Amino acid sequence: MGVLVGKKAPSFTAAAVVNGGEIVENFSLDQYLGKNPVIFFFYPKDFTFVCPSELHAFQAKLGEFEARGVKVVACSTDTEESHWGWLQVPKNKGGIEGITYPIVADTTKTISQAYGVLAGEYDYNENMEMVATGPMIAYRGLFLIDKEGTVMHQLVNNLPLGRNVDEALRMVDALQFFEENGEVCPANWQKGEDGMKASFDGVADYLASH
């Protein structure tokens, strides 16, 4: 599994469900280049247990991401039809009805593989038949991609471990603070707090005042 931070986010075109129920065939993150940062996150499977809690948590904070100009996009290795079906199921029955941000269908598993979050890989058995050596679903990967398409933050959790959406929002704030002020963000930095200048004097001044 590679680290993509500091590199261009892998480009792709795939089917996706947008606006809570519309299937589009040629969805790409490239549409946001030069316009919007993106939170692009992977989840393992539709119709499961931890996954809807994460999807709804991102939806609950969607207004805050949008207020910062950030697009939120989800992805799993399920089909677009599976995504659409799950979107028809009410939240109180384990569904994701009400989710409005795009959900990408990585049915070929090439997107998960390109982002280094595919749990498993292909190999050949003694009969030279291609077989999977793992579940071939995505880990809980999350990538903060800036307007220029560069990955600025990466987080990957194993399948049982749900993510903290507030931390993703904090990373957006930290990136935008750096872009606007040219100052770096120390440990546990929160929006509204001081940053520090990227120098020994700047660090010393910051530590002295805290």
Give the CATH number of the domain where residue 138 resides: 3.40.30.10
Out of 9-13, 137-141, 174-178, 190-194, least confident range: 190-194
pLDDT in tens, 86-120: 999 999 999 999 999 999 999 999 999 999 999 98
How many domains does the chain contain in total?
A: 2
Q: 55 and 24, same structural domain?
A: yes
* Separation of alpha carbons 83 and 53, rounded Å: 15
Q: 88 and 146, same structural domain?
A: yes
Are the C-beta atoms of residues 123 and 133 closer than 8 Å to each other?
yes
Question: Which range marks the domain in which residue 170 is found?
Answer: 164-210
Does 2 reside within a domain?
no
Residues present in the chain in total = 210
Are the C-beta atoms of residues 195 and 184 closer than 8 Å to each other?
yes
91-to-55, 177, 202, 207 alpha-carbon distances in Å: 11, 35, 48, 46
| Residues that are catalytic | 51
So what's the pLDDT on residue 132? 76
